[in-house]
């Protein structure tokens, strides 16, 4: 780097050379005193500018790769310095924390978290801390067969962390920190896929549903959608068909479970019923193509998937008394303990036992309808209780004068017995005018998908086979 003294000598030498060159170019090779004076002033100005430019260049240091910058200027020290890539890489912080090395423990029948900790050689004191950590301790101790825990232990077997599923879309971690144990949650990525299926019933609804990959829970949900229109204990026929548009839930690319039903069609004895899922503001529910709720005032049957042992019959031969007398209800055979539901909202007007009816429950619905449930093994409501449609009011049994376990179900309108399977039920009111257009817009693509799954010719074929 040139010093100021050396730089000034160089500039003066360049000035002399410039004057000599100018003198050589003039005729006679001589300069007048005035010319020399003017030239000297110009030379001084030019040389001064040159010195200023050189000083600015010298003030910008050149940093060689790998060099260390040292400055006495506090302001400069406080400013970040753009170093070459090689220097930046050399000063990146190095972490000493190792990557977790998970060991997996599958929970089996009879396991407790205490047993799991003992097998891993972890102390009871650590277990106590885990069981009482934040809001997750109690949840961690409620383990079930099939649950999986992952433990991160050192080479010496010391605890660093554990991880398990808090819910289907969240992990919970318990980790050793500088302040002791700490818990945190982490999201798990869920993916929803839309699936379509259709099937024909050849033996039973459950078998047909299983053949197309539906779970038993999904089959029950399908039946519950149409339970107000179809008696699944008696009305199902060979050749009936159904179609579904529903969600499948995947987690991290793996199938997790079947999700919500979005739309469904059921063809029963040639009659077609359609339902579309829609949230009108009170939570999702199902509506028909015109926007009327599928949920009506009464269920066609007060229990699920049983057999009818005796129909409504004004002149039935009684198997016990051996006499012909009216059978004013429908008998549903099934296993003792099968849940019995309230067919509609109402108030319990009788919950008692006698030697003829056994354990029985009567429910008043509004001012003119009463439903009766006889021969229960157990009653789960009391007189004057308010009940909701679908609420379990008792369990199927064989109490009273009976030949076997069944439910005797009666439906009375203004005190007159009516066949519960064929009586006209009140028509549900459609969605209001403000919401109906939104529903129709949302329902149209779903109904189109159902139409593609079960096209009109299938409906006509089903109707023709039923007529034959």
Contact between residue 369 and residue 342 where contact means Cβ atoms under 8 Å apart: no
- What pLDDT sits at residue 186? 92
Q: What pLDDT does 314 receive?
A: 54
pLDDT (0 to 100) of residue 159: 95
Task: Give pLDDT, residue 37.
Answer: 63
Confidence of residue 448 (pLDDT cuts 50, 70, 90): very high
CA distance 308 to 439: 37
pLDDT at position 466 is 47
Rounded to an integer, what distance in angstroms lies between the CA atom of residue 234 and that of residue 419? 13
Q: Which band of pLDDT confidence, cut at 50, 70 and 90, is reported for residue 130?
A: very high
**pLDDT tens digits for range 86-98:** 444 444 444 556 6
Does the pLDDT of residue 449 top 80, yes or no? yes
b/e 130-167 (16+ beta carbons within 10 angstroms → b)? beebeebbeebeebeeebebbbbbeeeeebebbbbebe
Query: Is the domain covering 190-296+427-468 a CATH 2.70.70.10 domain?
Result: no
Same fold, 102-187 and 190-296+427-468: yes
Give φ, ψ of 323 to 5 degrees. Answer: -125, 155
Number of other residues whose CB lies within 10 A of the CB of residue 273: 18
Bridge partners of residue 196, in order along the sequence: 245
How far apart are the C-alpha atoms of 407 and 373, rounded to whole Å? 7
CATH number of 102-187: 3.10.450.350
| Number of Cβ within a 10 Å radius of residue 55 | 11
Among residues 242, 222, 362, 424, the alpha carbon closest in space to that of 305 is found at 222
Whole-number pLDDT of residue 366: 82
Q: What percentage of residues in the chain have a pLDDT greater than 90?
A: 53
What was the pLDDT predicted at 138?
84
pLDDT of 22:
62
DSSP per position, 392-404? EEEEEB--SS-SS
Given a cut of 50, whether residue 212 has pLDDT beyond it is: yes
- Indicate the burial class of 246 (C-beta count within 10 angstroms; 0-12, 13-18, 19 or more): buried
Question: According to the model, what pLDDT value does residue 336 have?
Answer: 93
Q: What is the pLDDT of residue 446?
A: 97
* Predicted structure pTM score: 0.62
- Which whole number is the average pLDDT over 284-310? 83
Element holding 287 (H helix, E strand): strand 284-287
The rounded percent of the chain whose pLDDT value lies above 70 is 71
Residue 121 has pLDDT above 80, yes or no: yes
Q: What's the pLDDT at 32?
A: 65
Whether 58 shows a pLDDT value over 60: the answer reads no
What residue spans define the domains of the chain? 4-57, 102-187, 190-296+427-468, 307-418
Confidence of residue 216 (pLDDT cuts 50, 70, 90): very high
- Asked whether residue 41 carries a pLDDT value surpassing 90, the answer given is no
User: For position 221, what pLDDT does the model report?
Assistant: 94
Rg over CA atoms, the chain: 44
Contact present, 359 and 397 (Cβ < 8 Å): yes
Residue 106: partners with Cβ closer than 8 Å, 6 or more residues away: 146, 147, 148
Q: Which pLDDT belongs to residue 279?
A: 95
Pick the CATH number of 307-418 from 3.40.50.460, 3.30.1380.20, 2.60.40.3950, 2.70.70.10: 2.70.70.10
The two structure tokens encoding residue 125: 């004191």
Q: Which tens digits make up the pLDDT trace of 354-380?
A: 999 999 999 999 878 999 999 999 999
Higher pLDDT, 221 or 23: 221
Average pLDDT, the chain: 81
In 3D, which of 349, 355, 330, 327 has the Cα closest to residue 340? 330
**pLDDT at residue 323 is higher than 90:** no
Res 47: pLDDT: 62
What's the rounded Cα separation, in Å, for the pair 152 and 229? 56
Contact 267, 455 (CB under 8 A): no
Distance, in Å, from the CA atom of 214 to the CA atom of 60, rounded to the nearest integer, reads: 76
Q: What is the DSSP letter of 429?
A: P
The model's pLDDT over 386-399, given as tens digits with 9 standing for 90+, comes to 999 999 999 999 99
Asked if the model's pLDDT at residue 464 lies above 60, the reply is no
pLDDT at position 468 is: 45
Measured CA angle at 257 (ends 254, 262), to 5 deg: 120
Mean pLDDT computed over 6-32? 61
Question: What distance in Å separates the CA atoms of residue 150 and residue 165, rounded to the nearest whole number?
Answer: 10
* Cα–Cα distance, 170 to 152 (Å, whole number): 18
> Which pLDDT belongs to residue 36?
63
């Amino acid at each position: 780097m040139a010093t100021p003294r050396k730089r000034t000598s160089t500039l003066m030498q360049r000035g002399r050379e410039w004057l000599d060159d100018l003198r050589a170019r003039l005729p006679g090779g001589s300069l007048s005193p005035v010319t020399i004076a003017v030239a000297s002033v110009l030379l001084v100005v030019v040389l001064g500018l040159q010195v200023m430019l050189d000083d600015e260049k010298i003030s910008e240091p050149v940093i060689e790769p790998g060099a260390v910058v040292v400055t006495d200027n506090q302001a400069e020290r406080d400013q970040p310095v753009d170093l070459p890539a090689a220097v930046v890489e050399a000063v990146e912080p190095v972490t000493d924390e190792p990557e977790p090395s998970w060991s997996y423990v599958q929970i089996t029948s009879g396991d407790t978290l205490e047993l799991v900790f003992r097998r891993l050689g972890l102390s009871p004191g650590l277990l106590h801390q885990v069981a009482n950590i934040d809001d997750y301790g109690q949840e961690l101790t409620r383990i079930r067969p099939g649950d999986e825990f992952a433990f991160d232990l050192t080479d010496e077997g010391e605890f660093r962390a554990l991880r398990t599923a808090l819910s289907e879309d969240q992990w919970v971690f318990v980790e050793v920190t500088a302040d002791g144990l700490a818990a945190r949650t982490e999201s798990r990525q869920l993916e929803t896929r839309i699936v379509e299926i259709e099937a024909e019933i050849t033996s039973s609804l459950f078998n047909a549903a299983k053949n197309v990959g539906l779970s038993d829970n999904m089959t029950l949900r399908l039946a519950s959608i149409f339970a107000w229109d179809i008696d699944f204990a008696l009305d199902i026929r060979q050749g009936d068909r159904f179609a579904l548009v529903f969600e499948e839930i995947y987690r991290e690319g793996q199938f997790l479970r079947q999700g919500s039903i979005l739309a469904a069609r059921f063809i029963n004895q040639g009659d077609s019923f359609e339902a579309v899922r829609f949230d009108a503001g009170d939570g999702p529910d199902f509506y028909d193509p015109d926007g009327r709720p599928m949920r009506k005032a009464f269920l066609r049957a007060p229990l699920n998937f049983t057999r009818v042992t005796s129909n409504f019959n004004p002149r039935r031969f009684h198997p016990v008394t051996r006499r012909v007398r009216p059978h004013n209800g429908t008998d549903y055979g099934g296993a003792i303990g099968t849940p019995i539901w309230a067919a509609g909202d109402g108030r319990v007007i009788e919950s008692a036992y006698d030697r003829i009816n056994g354990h029985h429950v009567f429910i008043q619905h509004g001012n003119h309808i009463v439903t009766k449930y006889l021969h229960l093994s157990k009653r789960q409501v009391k007189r004057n209780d308010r009940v909701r449609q679908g609420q379990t009011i008792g369990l199927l049994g064989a109490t009273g004068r009976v030949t076997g376990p069944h439910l005797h179900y009666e439906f009375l309108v203004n005190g007159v017995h009516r066949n519960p399977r064929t009586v006209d039920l009140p028509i549900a009111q459609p969605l209001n005018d403000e919401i109906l257009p939104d529903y129709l817009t949302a329902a149209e693509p779903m109904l189109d998908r159902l139409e593609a799954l079960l096209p009109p010719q299938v409906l006509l074929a089903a109707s023709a086979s039923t007529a034959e």
